[in-house]
Structure 1
Amino acid sequence: MQKFDKLEGVAAPLRVLNVDTDMIIPKQYLKTLKRTGLAKGLFSEMRYQDDGSDNPDFVLNKPAYKNAKIIVAEDNFGCGSSREHAPWALMDYGIRCVISTQFGDIFYNNCFKNGLLPIKVSPQDLEKLFDDADRGSNATLSIDLEKQEIRGPDGGVVKFDIDPARKHIMLNGLDDIAQTQLKKDKIANFEAKSQTARPWA
């Protein structure tokens, strides 16, 4: 899993409440188990018009936000079903961080398993960050996970909380498999003792 330490980039303001995982990546894109190639389906029902052309009113289609690395989102982002393709699609597009006041629980957990940082902030801080994001490519946000800070283009700082264990796995790029491998010596010792105690097994 890709480590997350610091990130600086343009933040796209997504002023839509209750963006569920079907809106993030619609069901027709779920046939693959690959984590690549999903960027084209990200927010497809909002990004594209009926004829397949870009919807000029959607934030990620605006020139200032085409290379956004961060999304500032309204409440309850990632609610709905448990599809892990949602963080995969965001990552494949180039999004490494989503900031909101609240996330769907399953989506929130899936983000940490895939190297996408979800940051919870207060409604007041979210409005400040929306103001920054509204400036487009003329302003960037800087995120420092170690310090747990979001720094705006004018030097303003928003602090955020994160579970220490989740912070550790993000800083070190540890997915579930990598976390298990860290304990391989203990696992080997257990297996050896088990074999001695139960040689017939």
Structure 2
Amino acid sequence: MQPLTTLDAVAVPLPAADIDTDQILPARFMHARRTDYGRYFFHDQRFDPQSGAVRPECALNRAGYAHAQILVTGPNFGCGSSREQAVHTLLDFGIRAIVGTTFGDIFFSNCLKNGVLPIRADAAFVAHVSAWLAEGPGARVKVDLPAQRVVAPDGTTIAFEIDAFSKEALAGGLDEIDVTLRLREKIDDFERRHGPGRT
């Protein structure tokens, strides 16, 4: 995984409530090979299902939000099914952080395991940032993982919580296997002392 420490990037508002994983990644694309997987991100909102034409009304298609790396979302983002591929398509689209009030529990966990930082913030801050982004496409939001804070386009700042393990893994670009392998010497020592034939 790519390490994530600080991020100063264009953010895009997706304020609707209860955006589920089937909207993030429609089920028909779940088993596609992970090659340019970001093309399936919010596919049915970004493209007309019948003609395939780009939908200009979708924020993700607007020029001002091009190359956004941060989403600012409505409540209960990522609810619905547990598909981990929803995070894969989000990451491959270029998203590294999400700021919202609440998230689907499994989606939240899948984000942390795959290099995306989901940030729980209070509703007033999320609404404030969303308003700025809606009025000024291209506005940037800053995410500082070491300091655990988010800075809105106007400088308004809020702190966020994250567990120490997830923070370390994201900052180091480590998945759970990488973290386990860092303990290889201790694991080998344990096996020598407690393996077959040992008491």
Asked whether 1:101 is paired with 2:117, we answer: no
Q: Is the 8 A contact 2:41 2:93 kept in 1?
A: yes
Cα shift at 1:161:
1.6
Q: Where does residue 175 of structure 1 map in the other structure?
A: 175
Q: Distance in 1 between matches of 2:113 and 2:33?
A: 15
Q: Percent identity?
A: 37
Q: CA RMSD in A?
A: 1.6
Measure the CA separation in 2 of the matches of 1:15 and 1:111.
Answer: 19
Residue of structure 1 equivalent to 2:192: 192
**Distance between the aligned counterparts of 1:156 and 1:194, measured in 2?**
54
Please name the residue that 1:136 is paired with: 137
Verify the 8 A CA contact 2:9 2:141 in the aligned structure 1: yes
Deviation at 1:169, TM superposition (A): 1.4
Once residues 131 and 155 of structure 2 are traced to their aligned partners in structure 1, the CA distance between those partners, rounded to angstroms, is 13
Task: Please tell me whether residue 39 in structure 1 is matched to residue 74 in structure 2.
Answer: no
CA separation of 1:186/1:55 partners in 2, compared to 1, >3 Å: closer, same or farther? same
Separation in 1 of the partners of 2:118 and 2:40? 20
Cα deviation digits, residues 83-113 of structure 1 (max 9, x gap):
1111111110111111110000111001011
Query: How far apart, CA to CA, are the structure 2 residues paired with 1:111 and 1:119?
Result: 10
Shift of 1:193: 2.2
TM-score by length of 2: 0.93
Matched residue count: 197
> Take 1:105 and 1:33, find their aligned partners in 2: how far apart are those partners?
26
**Matching residue's letter, 1:47:** R
Structure 2 partner of 1:160:
160
1:11: how far off? 0.7
- After superposition, the C-alpha distances for 1:145-164 in whole angstroms (9 at most, x for unaligned) are 11111112222212212222
**C-alpha distance in 2 between matches for 1:132 and 1:161:** 23
Q: CA deviation at 1:7?
A: 0.4
- AA of the residue aligned to 2:183: K
1:83 aligns with 83
Task: Tell me which moved more, 146-155 or 7-16.
Answer: 146-155
Q: Distance in 2 between matches of 1:44 and 1:88?
A: 14
**What runs of 5+ residues in structure 2 fail to find an aligned partner?**
none
Residue 4 of structure 1 corresponds to which residue in structure 2? 4
Q: TM-score, normalised by structure 1?
A: 0.93
Whole-angstrom distance in 1 between the partners of 2:95 and 2:58: 16
CA distance in 2, matches of 1:59, 1:196: 60
AA at the equivalent of 2:38: A
Partner of 1:57: 57
What is the Cα deviation at residue 33 of structure 1? 5.7
State the secondary structure of the residue aligned to 2:129: helix
Instruction: List runs of 5+ in structure 1 lacking aligned partners.
Output: none
Secondary structure of 1:136's aligned partner? coil
